[in-house]
A and B are shown apart, each in its own frame.
Chain A
Amino acid sequence: DNPPAMMGPARVVASPSLPLLRSRRLASPGFLLAGAAILSATALSVFSFLSNGHAQNVGAPAAAGLQARTIGGVPGVGMRQYLSGLKGKGMAAFGGERGIRAKIPSPSAVEIGVEDTTSTQTSVSPLDSETAGALYEDMHLGRKFEDATAQWYQRGKVFGFVHLANGQEAISSGAIKQLRPDDYICSTYRDHIHALSKGCDPKEVMAELFAKKTGICNGQGGSMHMFSKKHNMLGGFAFIGEGIPVALGAAFQTRYRRDALKDPNADQVTLAFFGDGTSNVGQFAECLNMASLYKLPIVFVVENNLWAIGMYHYRATAPHLGDQLPHIYKKGPAFGMPGVNVDGMDVVAVREAIGKAVARARAGEGPTLIEAETYRYRGHSLADPDQLRSPEEKERFAKMDPIEKFRAYCLENNLLTEEQLKEYENKAEAKVQEAVEFADNSPKPDKSQLLNNVFADPKGFGVDENGKYRYQNPDFMAKSAAAGLQQ
């Protein structure tokens, strides 16, 4: 089928080919040195973990050669220096091999597969105190909310399969807080903080976790299915990869309204969040292709936290030809869109990278694939004993806590004072406390809600023996002995 005529001829976004990339990289002496260090380190680590591959509890690749995270090769270089090195380079900087973040702020730092977009895009607005405060509060809210969820899960009020996003707050806050209210987001089962960042009321989200009637989905969905029409949150998907085509459809609808229905205000952007394991699902490839073909206003955000339950990213995804380790962002150019790697523990970098991608999409220049490297501090779900990841790996990433980093950044750059930060923390904690109380005191859903919303028309349940619509019969549930059961 040809795409509808309104789309115009499909234009493939030009991306630099690999040989060109390599030669540009080698041109920089600073990079050569760092590159050599990276290559030798990763070669060592890759070969040693390949030979250790049979060990059941392999955590990160054998630690040989992998250094603690540095910037510019110098430990402890601050955010400001790092960001100043990025100025004027368009999209956020490339990422090094996992675990070695040798971001070299040199003039020849390369954006992978990106056209020069600085001429057409408005740059991301600089971080001021108010924005920083909002970001900090949101990240803190996310962290405290997830901790409260875990607490109440132990106490039996939250039940089912619950997946917490401790450690991934920078991506949620950095990406979502800058969106407009009418922009869409589509998430995964790790969706509590996405819902919060998008503006959903923590009270309603917590009530949904408690499966109460006042929950954001009336208690129908639970932890993995946060939806909000008001905030344009398209879910919450228990099934990995299922959300990506849904996000694509929403992005298509925006384009349709703009081009076919001639609505000049239709410039919403859709963000699709998913994980590293999902980049191997067929729907990922299908959607990247369609997004590029139809030039849809969508940004694909990969939250690469290295683990898909028990499957380590490096053992689950094949590397790009010529690489030692897999990089998901490199799949973008193959499908005709820029691929960008960003440090997912750095909310400022995430905000910038996604801000630019969103501006691109809003201007009608098509999709972007962004890989944000992060880590989850808790297990896959609250039922996961989290025995597969090595303590060394967990410790290494615990040092990169995004909230601590941003806190230090705000203080260092005089964006917020200690008192202001504390105030935001207290606000966040108060919201969580309020949410828990609200959820606890809310009523459970009525039994009759079981039949709601299967079809649009409740009469879809048909007529019972008495000639009345089934849903109208108050005894529908009461007739059986099961009606006497306590919920």
Chain B
Amino acid sequence: MLMFRRGSRRLRNFRTLSSEARMKTKADSLAEQKSYRTMNLFTAVNDAMDIAMEQDDEVIVFGEDVKFGGVFRCCIGLNEKYGDERVFNTPLCEQGIIGFGIGAAAAGAKPVAEIQFADYIHPAFDQIVNEAAKYRYRSGNEFNSGGLTIRTPYGAVGHGGLYHSQSPEAYFCHSAGIKVVVPRSPAQAKGLLLSSIFAPDPVLFMEPKWLYRTAVEEVMEGDYRIPLDSAEVIREGTDVTVIGWGAQLQVLTKAADEAKANHGISCEIIDLRTLSPWDEDTVIESVEKTGRCVVSHEAPLQGGFGAEIASTIQEKCFYHLQAPIKRVCGYDTPFPLAFEKFYVPDHLKNYDAIVNVVEESC
């Protein structure tokens, strides 16, 4: 089981080391000996479930339409390989699916429940927030629903409209007891999903549906885990800390490139990976270094998870901040049908924010 270790704080402050040298860990050297395969996001997710089911008989996969492979092809081949007892369709009842998953987890299984679109998770909201998140707490650790992993595609896809584009992560970050994990790429998705399935806590694993086919990467074969509860600095920088998760990082990277090209602004880009509980230390350390912050997510501005990040940063790094924290998010409207291009926080809005936060700083 390979772990990508984050370097300790002391190590990272050695600016004399190039980022390549600093990033290379023992795990990386081992990784070089492994074989890789080109995968897109749904193939990586499929591979992770395959590996998990092979390793542990308690892993079961269910949801709507998973038997033929799922509407996004994430479950292709699993039913053929593991049979109807372990990979099966449920009727159309999200509340039932999740409640059933919680019970199965409490009895020792490791269910991987699929909610077909994150927009449909709301009937199951009660079960997730009131049962899954509180099971261990209120039973005094007699029982827990840690085996449960809920996989769901989220986010804008270009033509989804109100009910195929939502990002409901904030509602669940507000309930302690359930983890919310969002991968940004196929390689990350595989490692994070494997960690989520075997995590001792219930995990809501939100896959950016826009990236299912469009994100292609060399993904290591075999079992590897990426630790939950840790953020990753995917690009080092000195001027602005830019924080995002999931598909939004593609947008942020593009905006950062443009800011670098046009204004010479060096952005430090952080992928939170796990939103609840989130890796405050990495973020705080970064903001203390740069003094400026931009947070971006597709979900609406008011009450979005960016608000939690901004609030914590102002609390803990107030005296390091040189400009107000900017949040570049969706508007406070339902996700629109015809206005999607205006609604989403695209690279232009983020570019504006990055440039403005530098220009406005004292």
Closest to A218 in B: B338
Known A238-B162, A311-B92, A454-B332; judge A444-B351 contact (CB<8 A): no
Contact A56 B80 (CB under 8 A): yes
The docked-state distance in angstroms from the alpha carbon of A161 to that of B159 is: 7
- Chain A contacts for B93, CB-based, 8 A: 280-282
Contact A161 B92 (CB under 8 A): no
Segment at the B interface, from A80-88, A121-129, A422-430, A475-483: A475-483
- Chain B contacts for A485, CB-based, 8 A: 341-342, 348
Contact B336 A450 (CB under 8 A): yes
- Chain B contacts for A451, CB-based, 8 A: 331, 333
Contact B91 A317 (CB under 8 A): yes
- Chain B contacts for A53, CB-based, 8 A: 84
Known A54-B83, A310-B68, A454-B334; judge A161-B160 contact (CB<8 A): yes
Residue A472 interfacial (CB < 8 Å): no
- Chain B contacts for A317, CB-based, 8 A: 91
Contact B333 A454 (CB under 8 A): yes
The docked-state distance in angstroms from the alpha carbon of A54 to that of B348 is: 50
Binary B-proximity of A151-164 (CB < 8 A = 1, otherwise 0): 00000000111000
Contact B342 A447 (CB under 8 A): yes
Residue A220 interfacial (CB < 8 Å): yes
Nearest Cβ in chain A — how far from B344, in angstroms?
9
Contact B161 A238 (CB under 8 A): yes
Nearest Cβ in chain A — how far from B360, in angstroms?
13
Contact A487 B341 (CB under 8 A): yes
Residue A69 interfacial (CB < 8 Å): no
Residue B96 interfacial (CB < 8 Å): yes
Nearest Cβ in chain A — how far from B1, in angstroms?
33
Contact A211 B96 (CB under 8 A): no
Nearest Cβ in chain A — how far from B188, in angstroms?
27
Residue B349 interfacial (CB < 8 Å): yes
- Chain A contacts for B119, CB-based, 8 A: 238-239
Nearest Cβ in chain A — how far from B68, in angstroms?
5
- Chain A contacts for B163, CB-based, 8 A: 224, 238-239
Residue A309 interfacial (CB < 8 Å): yes
Contact A482 B341 (CB under 8 A): yes
Contact A54 B84 (CB under 8 A): yes
Nearest Cβ in chain A — how far from B299, in angstroms?
15
Binary A-proximity of B98-142 (CB < 8 A = 1, otherwise 0): 000000000000000000000110010000000000000000000
Partner of A444, one of B92, B338, B346: B338
Nearest Cβ in chain B — how far from A140, in angstroms?
29
Contact B343 A450 (CB under 8 A): yes
The docked-state distance in angstroms from the alpha carbon of A311 to that of B343 is: 34
Binary A-proximity of B130-174 (CB < 8 A = 1, otherwise 0): 000000000000000000000000000001111110000000000
- Chain B contacts for A161, CB-based, 8 A: 159-161, 164
Contact B68 A219 (CB under 8 A): no
From DSSP, what is the main secondary structure of chain B's interface residues? loop
Binary A-proximity of B55-70 (CB < 8 A = 1, otherwise 0): 0000000001101100
B residues 221-257 in Cβ contact with A at 8 Å:
none
Residue B2 interfacial (CB < 8 Å): no
The docked-state distance in angstroms from the alpha carbon of A477 to that of B343 is: 10
Contact B349 A56 (CB under 8 A): no
B residues 63-86 in Cβ contact with A at 8 Å:
64-65, 67-68, 71, 79-80, 83-84
Residue B175 interfacial (CB < 8 Å): no
Known A444-B338, A454-B332; judge A56-B67 contact (CB<8 A): yes
Known A53-B84, A280-B92, A447-B342; judge A309-B161 contact (CB<8 A): no
Q: Taking each of B80, B159, B164, which has the highest tally of chain A beta carbons within 10 Å of its own beta carbon? A: B159
Q: How many residues of A contact B (CB 8 A)?
A: 46
Contact A450 B339 (CB under 8 A): yes
- Chain A contacts for B331, CB-based, 8 A: 450-451
B residues 304-359 in Cβ contact with A at 8 Å:
331-334, 336-339, 341-343, 346, 348-349, 351-352
Residue A225 interfacial (CB < 8 Å): yes
- Chain A contacts for B351, CB-based, 8 A: 481
Contact B64 A311 (CB under 8 A): yes
What bracket does the count of chain B residues touching chain A fall in?
35 or more
Residue B25 interfacial (CB < 8 Å): no
The docked-state distance in angstroms from the alpha carbon of A387 to that of B61 is: 22
Contact A160 B337 (CB under 8 A): yes
Contact A445 B162 (CB under 8 A): no
Binary B-proximity of A460-486 (CB < 8 A = 1, otherwise 0): 010000000000000001001110010
Closest to A451 in B: B333
Residue A118 interfacial (CB < 8 Å): no
Q: Taking each of B80, B163, B337, which has the highest tally of chain A beta carbons within 10 Å of its own beta carbon? A: B337
Contact A308 B92 (CB under 8 A): yes
Closest to A237 in B: B163
The docked-state distance in angstroms from the alpha carbon of A159 to that of B89 is: 29
Known A56-B68, A161-B161; judge A239-B120 contact (CB<8 A): yes
Known A160-B160, A309-B71; judge A316-B91 contact (CB<8 A): yes
The docked-state distance in angstroms from the alpha carbon of A315 to that of B89 is: 9
Residue B95 interfacial (CB < 8 Å): yes
Binary B-proximity of A16-37 (CB < 8 A = 1, otherwise 0): 0000000000000000000000
Closest to B84 in A: A54
- Chain B contacts for A221, CB-based, 8 A: 162, 337
Residue A415 interfacial (CB < 8 Å): no
Contact A310 B337 (CB under 8 A): no
Q: Taking each of B92, B164, B336, B343, which has the highest tally of chain A beta carbons within 10 Å of its own beta carbon? A: B92
Residue A277 interfacial (CB < 8 Å): yes
Residue A441 interfacial (CB < 8 Å): no
Nearest Cβ in chain A — how far from B210, in angstroms?
15
Nearest Cβ in chain B — how far from A399, in angstroms?
26
Contact A224 B161 (CB under 8 A): yes
Contact A388 B68 (CB under 8 A): yes
Residue A420 interfacial (CB < 8 Å): no
The docked-state distance in angstroms from the alpha carbon of A479 to that of B138 is: 50
Residue A7 interfacial (CB < 8 Å): no
Nearest Cβ in chain B — how far from A178, in angstroms?
30
Residue A278 interfacial (CB < 8 Å): yes
The docked-state distance in angstroms from the alpha carbon of A315 to that of B64 is: 12
Closest to B71 in A: A309
Partner of A480, one of B83, B164, B333, B352: B352
Closest to A310 in B: B65
Residue A240 interfacial (CB < 8 Å): yes
- Chain A contacts for B352, CB-based, 8 A: 480-481
Residue A449 interfacial (CB < 8 Å): yes
Contact A281 B92 (CB under 8 A): yes
Contact A482 B346 (CB under 8 A): yes
The docked-state distance in angstroms from the alpha carbon of A53 to that of B87 is: 13
The docked-state distance in angstroms from the alpha carbon of A267 to that of B351 is: 58
Nearest Cβ in chain B — how far from A371, in angstroms?
16
A residues 371-390 in Cβ contact with B at 8 Å:
388
Give the 9 A-B CB pairs with smallest separation, nearest first.
Answer: A238-B163, A280-B91, A481-B348, A211-B338, A277-B92, A310-B65, A222-B337, A450-B339, A160-B159
* Contacts A/B (CB < 8 Å), 27 sampled: A160-B159, A160-B161, A160-B337, A211-B338, A221-B162, A222-B338, A224-B163, A238-B119, A239-B120, A280-B93, A281-B92, A283-B123, A308-B64, A309-B64, A309-B65, A310-B65, A311-B92, A316-B89, A445-B339, A447-B342, A449-B339, A450-B333, A450-B336, A451-B331, A482-B346, A482-B348, A487-B341
Question: Which residues of B are interface residues toward A (Cβ below 8 A)?
Answer: 64-65, 67-68, 71, 79-80, 83-84, 89, 91-93, 95-96, 119-120, 123, 159-164, 331-334, 336-339, 341-343, 346, 348-349, 351-352
Question: Which residues of A are interface residues toward B (Cβ below 8 A)?
Answer: 53-54, 56-57, 159-161, 211, 219-222, 224-225, 238-241, 277-278, 280-283, 308-311, 315-317, 388, 444-445, 447, 449-451, 454, 461, 477, 480-482, 485, 487
